[in-house]
Amino acid sequence: MLDVDKIREDFPILKRKINGYPLIYFDNAATSQKPIQVISAVTEFYEHHNANIHRAVYTLSQEASELYEKAHEEVASFINAKGIEETIFVRGTTEAINLVAYAWGLHKLRKEDEVLVTLMEHHSNIVPWENLSKIRGFRVKYARIREDGTLDYQSLEDMISKKTKLVCVSHVSNVTGVVNDVKKIAKLAHEFDALVLVDGAQSAPHMPVDVKDLSVDFFAFSGHKMLAPTGIGVLYGKRELLEKMEPFHGGGEMIREVSYDSARDRCSISWNELPWKFEAGTPNSCGGIGLMEAVRYLKNIGMDNVVSYEKELTDYAADRLKECKKVTVFGPKNPKVKCGIIPLNVEGMSSHDVALLLDSYGIMLRSGFHCAQPLHQLIGLKSSARASFYIYNTKAEIDRLITVLQEIEQA
């Protein structure tokens, strides 16, 4: 079980006060706070090991390279990938999805093809496919969602066909916290010889992820949502797919050799081995090392403990919110299909007004569309306020949220 008091001691920012009130941070679906272990790892790198990786034989470069490669190994182990060849470091989930779109989709998708996307997706899993469809001419189709925000699996099954080349789905909705059965979806997609891309931005930080067991082809997630620095993320891809894909960016590091042919007045280029083939230029080395430390921190706690504790918090918050007369909670009522996220609104107030009032009491919630406008549109919301929990949140903080919401109701 989690020792939450001990965990909270690792997060310096939680000692802050906002407007004279203790900071209560409920915007973890947007980004998480960072433990001192991660902050120290980044500082240690810059103070003692900073150099460009894979570029030199001197001591600092060798140390930095070893740390960066070790970071790939830790991440591969965390999601049960076969090895570092299947773990590409990128800036975040958005870049990971765009990498698949332009390194795989640009070369593979044709006019007669279809890409199937769910209507609960974050914009980063919609926009790249719509943009690419304008270039390649394929069709983007959208699997429907139910009124409670859950995926309509029958809609997905009805839409998939031999024309479908890729199915794109969130593991966990960033608006409602709905957990999708990606293993079931992957099985269905593979029956039609389609690939599966999973947006794991909201699952990798909060629950055990085993890419082999899920049998997905691509899995994308961000470090900053799981205790790591911003600007670092991961694309998992099956090795046999990545080896056949063209690089996304061109430049240093991603090449094995560039030779000039004077007779043809051309340069001949061969690609580097995985994963460096997709990591052009000077990488975010310190971000990778911060991610490694974040992964170690989470592994030390145990991801089973993380998901269990967050479920306890979510269930508690859902029950306590029923005491608020003017608060409406959206999403499925069944807690078994949810993970750590509760979208809500207060009668007669915009989501931004709710967030601003809560901020005046030191409580941080997200407001707006959460980069998922189609989902809001389909469940009839102009916007929503969103409370999202993590390992350092407490029931006492939720109690404080309820007290303030009740004060707002009476104002």
Positions marked catalytic: 371
Tell me the DSSP string of 210-261: -HHHHT-SEEEEESGGGTSPTT-EEEEE-HHHHHHSPPSS-SSSSEEEEEEE
φ, ψ at 179 (rounded to 5°): -100, 120
Structure tokens at 400: 């404080």
State the residue for tokens 């966990």.
172
Q: Which of 68, 70, 71, 80 is nearest to 238 (CA)?
A: 80
Whether the ω angle into residue 247 lies within 30 degrees of 0, i.e. cis, is: no
DSSP H or E segment with residue 384: strand 384-388
At 197, phi and psi to the nearest 5? -110, 120
Q: Residue 296: what are its φ and ψ, rounded to 5°? A: -60, -40
What distance in Å separates the CA atoms of residue 40 and residue 223, rounded to the nearest whole number? 16
Contact at 8 Å (CB) between 198 and 169? yes
> Counting beta carbons within 10 angstroms of the beta carbon of residue 62, is it exposed (0 to 12), middle (13 to 18) or buried (19 or more)?
middle
H runs (alpha helix) in 322-366: 351-360
Terminus-to-terminus CA distance in the chain, angstroms? Answer: 40
